[in-house]
Amino acid sequence: MLRVTIHLELHDGIALTTLDRGLDTATCAELVLKLEEADAAGARAVVLTGTGDTFSPGVDLARLTEGGARYAEEFLPTLSDALLAVFGFPHPVVAAVNGTALGAGLVLAAACDHRVAADGDGRLGVPDLLVGVPFPLAALEILRCAYGTTPLPALAYSGATLTVADALARGLVDEVVPAGELATRAHEMAARLATLPTEAFAHTKAQLRQPYHERIAENRVADDAHVEHLWGTESTLAAVKSAVDNG
């Protein structure tokens, strides 16, 4: 029996979607299904959040070290599909960033329409390149859409993990609230966005994101193959294992 790693609750037309582990093949596939379930249930908006003090730690690197190159080949398309399911969801999606959001976890937040972060000790960033695992094209285009092209090199090349205050200053999140107010504020924002005319919102969102979807559609196949190769090399897997072993 598969372990449920994403929980979905519908309240007043707002679907609260909660992740409780890092991103692996099963979790990514489940996220796609949960969003389809929310849409089918008539959700007018989605709040995406994590558990405890972690929004999402990103890719489950331990699973990558266990599965090696074959797992990377299986996982990466599923990761892109999950990120694009959030990015392309026709209704408003609000990220309630309850703590740390790293790598693909930050991309998940970037894929949302609005990002509310809890004040606290959480860290945000994309340190993946430090261990030799470049993002698939879908992830980079989502970051480009949310944050613009100019900030991306510094964000990706440095691998820096920022405090919540620094993340706000650099535009990685839209607002910061006390941790105890996060759920309420995210629900309020989702409810406000949900009052916009549904079809008009969906069309406007699609218009805003069309150039990024087009670049992904045009280049994803070739780029994904190269990324899969880079993830599966012996040197990359050794670097990932070292990072996992060193915590």
Q: Is the pLDDT of residue 4 over 60?
A: no
d(C-alpha 25, C-alpha 42), whole Å: 27
User: Is the per-residue pLDDT at 208 higher than 60?
Assistant: yes
Q: Is the dihedral angle over the CA atoms 174, 176, 179, 183 positive or is it negative?
A: negative
From residue 22, alpha-carbon distances to 15, 116, 123 in Å are 20, 20, 15
**What are the backbone angles phi and psi of residue 244, rounded to the nearest 5°?**
-65, -45
The class level of CATH for 6-194 reads alpha beta
The span from the CA of 106 to the CA of 76, in Å, is 16
The reported pLDDT for the residue numbered 202 is 98
pLDDT tens profile 151-185: 999 999 999 999 999 999 999 999 999 999 999 99
Cβ atoms 139, 95 nearer than 8 A: no
Alpha-carbon distance of 89 to 20, in angstroms, equals 21
How many residues appear in the chain? 247
Domain boundaries, the chain: 6-194
- CA angle at 49 for the pair 45 and 52, rounded to the nearest 5°: 155
Instruction: Convert 149-165 into a string of H (helix), E (strand) and C (coil).
Output: CCCHHHHHHHCCEEEHH
pLDDT digits (tens, 9 = 90+) for 8-52: 999 999 999 999 989 999 999 999 999 999 999 999 999 999 999
**Which two tokens mark 39?**
């849409």
Residue 247 has pLDDT above 80, yes or no: no
Question: Is it the case that residue 207 has pLDDT exceeding 50?
Answer: yes
Give me the pLDDT at residue 103, please: 97
> What is residue 2's predicted lDDT score, i.e. its pLDDT?
43
Q: Considering only CA atoms, give the Rg of the chain.
A: 17
pLDDT band for position 1 (cuts 50, 70, 90):
very low
> Rounded to an integer, what distance in angstroms lies between the CA atom of residue 20 and that of residue 14?
19
Percentage of residues of the chain with pLDDT beyond 70: 98
Q: Can you tell me the mean pLDDT for 129-148? A: 96
Provide the 3-class DSSP secondary structure of residue 121: coil
How much is the pLDDT for 5? 78
With cut-offs at 50, 70 and 90, classify the pLDDT of residue 140. very high
- What is the structure's pLDDT at 21? 86
What pLDDT score was predicted for residue 3? 53
Report d(CA 190, CA 46) in Å as an integer.
7
pLDDT in tens, 79-112: 999 999 999 999 999 999 999 999 999 999 999 9
Structural element, H or E, at residue 50: none
**Nearest Cα to 247, choosing from 72, 62, 121, 35?**
62
CA distance 94 to 193: 9
Average pLDDT estimate for 61-72: 94
Sequence-separated (6 or more) residues with CB below 8 Å from residue 161: 102, 123, 124, 125, 127
Return the amino acid letter for 141.
E
pLDDT of residue 226: 95
Share of the chain above pLDDT 90, in %: 95
